[in-house]
Structure 1
Amino acid sequence: MTPDKSISPQELRHHWVNRDEIALLDVREEGPYSDAHPLFALSVPVSEIEEKLPPLVPRLSTPVVVYDDGEGYVDRAVARITALGYSHVSILDGGLSGYARVGEVYRDVNVPSKAFGELVESIRHTPSLAAPDAKKLLDQNPDVVVLDARRYEEYHTMSIPGGRSCPGGELLYRVFEAAPSPETTVIVNCAGRTRSIVGTQSLLNASVPNKVVALRNGTIGWTLEGLQLEHRREERAPPPSPEALRKARRHAEAWAQHVGVVTVDGCQVGQWASESRTLYLLDVRDPSEYTQSHAKGFANAPGGQLVQATDEWVGVRGARIVLYDTDGIRARMTASWLLQLGWEVYVLDANSTVPDVEPLVEWKGVSRDAPAGAITIDELQSLSDVTIVDLARSPVYRKGHIPGAWFASGPELVHDLKTIPGDGPIVLTSPDGQLAAANVDEARDHLPSRQLLYLTGGTAAWVSHGLALSSDDSRWLSSPIDVYQRPYEGTSNAREAMQGYLDWEYGLVAQLANDGVSCFHVVREMPDGVHM
């Protein structure tokens, strides 16, 4: 399958600068992607296109560009993308190396947000404390509150002593309850730098009367200084009282007006939902609130994480975004950052009727029949000379898999299957079976000499039958390059990796300046005398 056309790196970059709709897909595994990719590239491995692409790129007529670095994935990716119904698919001329000749390539993941955080600090001079100074302050001054701006799960894994979980999108919403006295010092921390910087600057932007500082370099900086972290803490910043809520809303409204955040009503959102332009409807509240009740068509994207990892929810540059909350605070503060990140974003007026509509999601109408070759657990157990191949992420595979199963990288599956000895049937599995089903036909086409099947319900079905998993990790059909080991998550990272990550972040502002395609704009503080 060949695409309609190719696109040059220069043309791609013009789309970004002009804010035209376009999605750039890196169809390699996450490991190579994290080593080098263009600024706005999305990580969508070729083996996961059916699962990952539709939510990120909901309109089938959106221009989609794919690339690899010479691995030979792009033709397979184009075939799978066009099979879903996407009608404007292009291949990037020269792949990654061709792009690198005209634009910057970046390490790590969620790079636009991290680079933007560094830009914010360089322009706004966001105040911060080094770990030893923060530790001294905490030891000597009881009137200090530490708010951890990461996801609760990250906080629960490891945290600064005395810290409380308060994800970044919740900071202004909860700060007047967490620190009711304006004399209380507030320290905002994350694992590295971005969420500490953005979280601290959020409170300063909103003119919170407290002294607010970031913990410089977060839990990484704390660890590198030889200080001890706490583990498995469960403290959360409390929800606001009615008075604290009113105060926070006044501050949010003043800052949002200064930035230029526009609120819209349900009628306007309904009209946009019917237009042929990509629209993302996102509920920025805490996941627990979203689970209890939410508006039709709005996906949950907690505000702090949406700013930190926008590319995990919004895949089309040049798209339109509408944010929703029930308090008038979290959506405004999140929108104020997304605007500065170059997005066209609006807030649904909290007093407006929520529209009973969904954004135009063309791929939902695409019919995809289940492929042939599905088998049940009982049928699997009756097979002889069978080889099981697991397409789970490598950390999931290590944690537990069907006994005897081999790990395989999805993009390399069609190549690595040929190395399996014997001539018996091969059964693909994955955590819920969906990824196995999505890849069985392609595997069958490349290995016609073997019977290719897939396990209905995947490894979860095995467990639901009361069957044990194995943690033996000696069967690696493919190299485990599918997951980038983030230096700022977990508790077993090497010091060199943590320091290297910080050094990389410090260099991002220079890369942005040299690249010239970000469309970022950091808004200065409100003028003196603005009344709250």
Structure 2
Amino acid sequence: MTKTISARDLRDHWRDDREIALLDVREEGPFSQGHPLFALSVPVSEIEQKVPALIPRKSAPVVVYDSGEGYAGRAAERLTALGYTDVAILEGGLSAYAGHGEVYIDVNVPSKAFGELVESIRHTPSLPAPDVHRILQTENDVVVLDARRFEEFNTMSIPRGRSVPGGELVYRINDVAPSPDTLVIVNCAGRTRSIIGTQSLIDAGIPNRVVALRNGTIGWTLAGLDLAKARTERAEAPSSAGHRRARANAERWAAHVGVPVIGAQDYERLVAERYERTLYRLDVRTPEEHAAAHPESFVSAPGGQLVQATDEWLGVRGARIVLYDDDGVRARMTASWLHQMGWDVSVLADDVELPPARSEEPRQVASHVDAEREIEPRDLAKLGDAVVADLARSPAYRAGHIPGAWFVSGPELARDLGALPGEGPVVLTSPDGALAAANLRLATASTKRTVHILKGGTAAWQAAGLPLDTAARWASPPQDVYKRPYEGTDNQNDKMQAYIDWELQLVAQLANDGISRFRVVRAAPAESGGAGFSEAAE
């Protein structure tokens, strides 16, 4: 029988900086409506796909919970089947936890709350959208740097903006704004990445005036201003002189924050100890640089996105992290933020020689399926009265699926298979077939109908030249994805305003919770006239 853990004991792990991972095994929609600060969204049906990368050490303590849906027991069984040896269920689930600690809405909350704390302590400068609009209309010596991923920038952006993802700002700024008189405006979709990006440039000591666009593209839209679409401007890699200045600035700030830079001997020790204490090895350069070449066992985690969404890479609170770059800038600046967020993070020194990755290491567990259970795409029609159950996330399902396929929730697969019409075979599919294969056993145990999986999933169907359909058939309600009010161009004003209002109260919620271990570092006394650092939200 799976053991349990109380909310009080769980929170003690966070306070004491002891390793523990907390998995919310509901779908993302319910997760976004309420969860503990350090919970990860891992739907029970996606455990095999997501957990191996998030929790690389099989002996790490793992806690699962739901809100009474009955998922936690199944999640514990699946984790145990994967080889995890220290799995517990949270006593009383989410409702019991709410009696001991704060419950947060939305997603990527630790990073967003930390960004708000940074602004409140460092007084990160910002300007409202109307003021930025006036500046762009009347002044020429201005650069607008979009700190989001390029794909988000390309969807919609501030006029005159260019893409410089947050982890690249200090690395590239000296060539983007070579004159100290140039005004630098940093924006994102909402608040976090513009706050962290603006403060990064200030902390790096560039001579320019730097301000954030207050509330990002949300603030711009709420002010009634037009966004640009499909822009492709990017900042180039720095010149040799720009790189030297950036490196000196990053080294100075990282040393002030207290970021360790480790050599080969210390790195080898951390690697040798990874079975006793969880270790994450992350390459914070751009995805393109990582794809071209990277050291063995280092996963792509672009620095700006890593700080913006730590819970998408780091599943075990209290773990160790080693960051890699090849420039001496990006890893140091990223580590300076992770250190302030309470992570045990180090930067790999330049002279450490590591073997290159021969092939990308798998980040999920492959499910082995008997050949007679697999259906080739062109053989699907031969089943005659078969019905297709699609386990894709609902946006992917809406964008295109096998004609006649029904959307079925992964966590509610056992319940909702019974809603499918007919009495013939059921064929499970998912984008690449992996999720379908991982849930074949559950589906088979949940219906008297014969269950198959589509070999290679919907991608194989498309590769075979077969058509897709967009007519939706919902066997399950589409609550699997939380629609972020800061992404895309079709967001409602009231939801965007509510999102900004929520971010602004996160500092108070952090203070009331008392388990974050965030420590915001101030500028050096010689620069600020104040204390060396501030410990807050403990």
Superposition TM-score tier, normalisation by shorter sequence? over 0.9
Alignment partner of 1:453 is 2:417: no
Describe the superposition over 1:15-58 as per-residue Cα deviations: whole angstroms up to 9, x where unpaired.
Answer: 01111111000000000000000000000000000000010001
Asked if the contact 2:367–2:438 (Cα under 8 Å) also holds between the matched residues in 1, the reply is no
Distance in 1, Cα, partners of 2:424 & 2:125: 64
What does residue 50 of structure 1 align with? 48
What does residue 500 of structure 2 align with? 502
- Please give the secondary structure, in 1, of the residue aligned with 2:388: strand
Amino acid at match of 2:94: L
What does residue 199 of structure 1 align with? 197
- Listed as ranges, the matches of 1:254-273 within 5 Å are 254-273=252-271
Asked if the contact 2:294–2:357 (Cα under 8 Å) also holds between the matched residues in 1, the reply is no
Distance in 2, Cα, partners of 1:118 & 1:188: 16
Amino acid at match of 2:289: E
Describe the superposition over 1:190-219 as per-residue Cα deviations: whole angstroms up to 9, x where unpaired.
Answer: 000000000000011111100000000000
Distance in 2, Cα, partners of 1:318 & 1:367: 28
Amino acid at match of 1:152: F
How many residues get paired? 523
Distance in 2, Cα, partners of 1:293 & 1:420: 46
Q: Name which of 135, 153, 156 aligns with 2:154.
A: 156
What does residue 22 of structure 2 align with? 24
Amino acid at match of 1:156: N
What does residue 290 of structure 1 align with? 290
What does residue 511 of structure 1 align with? 509
What does residue 105 of structure 1 align with? 103
- Please give the secondary structure, in 2, of the residue aligned with 1:476: coil
- Listed as ranges, the matches of 1:309-320 within 5 Å are 309-320=309-320
Distance in 2, Cα, partners of 1:270 & 1:453: 46
- Please give the secondary structure, in 2, of the residue aligned with 1:528: helix
Asked if the contact 2:259–2:336 (Cα under 8 Å) also holds between the matched residues in 1, the reply is yes
Alignment partner of 1:418 is 2:418: yes
What does residue 431 of structure 2 align with? 431
What does residue 535 of structure 2 align with? none
% same residue:
63
Amino acid at match of 2:467: A
Asked if the contact 2:46–2:435 (Cα under 8 Å) also holds between the matched residues in 1, the reply is yes
Q: Name which of 210, 219, 222 aligns with 2:220.
A: 222
Deviation, 1:353, is 1.7
- Please give the secondary structure, in 2, of the residue aligned with 1:519: coil
Distance in 2, Cα, partners of 1:477 & 1:437: 19
Describe the superposition over 1:212-247 as per-residue Cα deviations: whole angstroms up to 9, x where unpaired.
Answer: 000000000000000000000000112110000000
Amino acid at match of 2:270: W
Q: Name which of 121, 126, 129 aligns with 1:128.
A: 126
What does residue 38 of structure 1 align with? 36
Q: Structure 1 362/17 Cα, relative in aligned 2: closer, same or farther at 3 Å? A: farther
Describe the superposition over 1:475-531 as per-residue Cα deviations: whole angstroms up to 9, x where unpaired.
Answer: 10000000000000000000011000000000100000000000000000123269x
- Listed as ranges, the matches of 1:313-332 within 5 Å are 313-332=313-332
Deviation, 1:263, is 0.3
What does residue 138 of structure 1 align with? 136
TM-score (norm. length: structure 1): 0.96
Describe the superposition over 1:343-397 as per-residue Cα deviations: whole angstroms up to 9, x where unpaired.
Answer: 0000001232236799xx9999x88533562221233121011110100110110
Distance in 1, Cα, partners of 2:423 & 2:367: 30
What does residue 532 of structure 2 align with? none
Asked if the contact 1:58–1:362 (Cα under 8 Å) also holds between the matched residues in 2, the reply is no
TM-score (norm. length: structure 2): 0.95
Amino acid at match of 2:75: A
Describe the superposition over 1:381-429 as per-residue Cα deviations: whole angstroms up to 9, x where unpaired.
Answer: 2101111010011011011000000001100111000122321100000
Q: Name which of 51, 57, 60 aligns with 1:59.
A: 57
**Ranges in structure 2 where 5+ consecutive residues have no aligned partner:** 529-538
Alignment partner of 1:69 is 2:67: yes
Distance in 2, Cα, partners of 1:182 & 1:235: 22
Distance in 1, Cα, partners of 2:298 & 2:144: 32
Distance in 2, Cα, partners of 1:223 & 1:357: 44
Distance in 2, Cα, partners of 1:157 & 1:377: 33
**Ranges in structure 1 where 5+ consecutive residues have no aligned partner:** none
Distance in 2, Cα, partners of 1:508 & 1:262: 30
Amino acid at match of 2:461: W
- Please give the secondary structure, in 2, of the residue aligned with 1:427: strand
Distance in 2, Cα, partners of 1:369 & 1:468: 28
Amino acid at match of 1:327: D
- Please give the secondary structure, in 2, of the residue aligned with 1:19: coil
Deviation, 1:266, is 2.4
Distance in 2, Cα, partners of 1:496 & 1:529: 41
- Please give the secondary structure, in 1, of the residue aligned with 2:326: coil
- Listed as ranges, the matches of 1:314-463 within 5 Å are 314-354=314-354, 369-371=368-370, 373-447=373-447, 449-463=448-462
Larger deviation: 216-225 or 261-270? 261-270
Distance in 1, Cα, partners of 2:265 & 2:433: 40
Amino acid at match of 1:467: L
Asked if the contact 1:85–1:363 (Cα under 8 Å) also holds between the matched residues in 2, the reply is no
Asked if the contact 2:148–2:165 (Cα under 8 Å) also holds between the matched residues in 1, the reply is yes
Asked if the contact 1:143–1:184 (Cα under 8 Å) also holds between the matched residues in 2, the reply is yes
Asked if the contact 1:60–1:85 (Cα under 8 Å) also holds between the matched residues in 2, the reply is yes
How big is the alpha-carbon RMSD for the aligned residues of Structure 1 and Structure 2?
1.6
- Listed as ranges, the matches of 1:75-114 within 5 Å are 75-114=73-112
Asked if the contact 1:205–1:526 (Cα under 8 Å) also holds between the matched residues in 2, the reply is no
Asked if the contact 1:190–1:196 (Cα under 8 Å) also holds between the matched residues in 2, the reply is yes
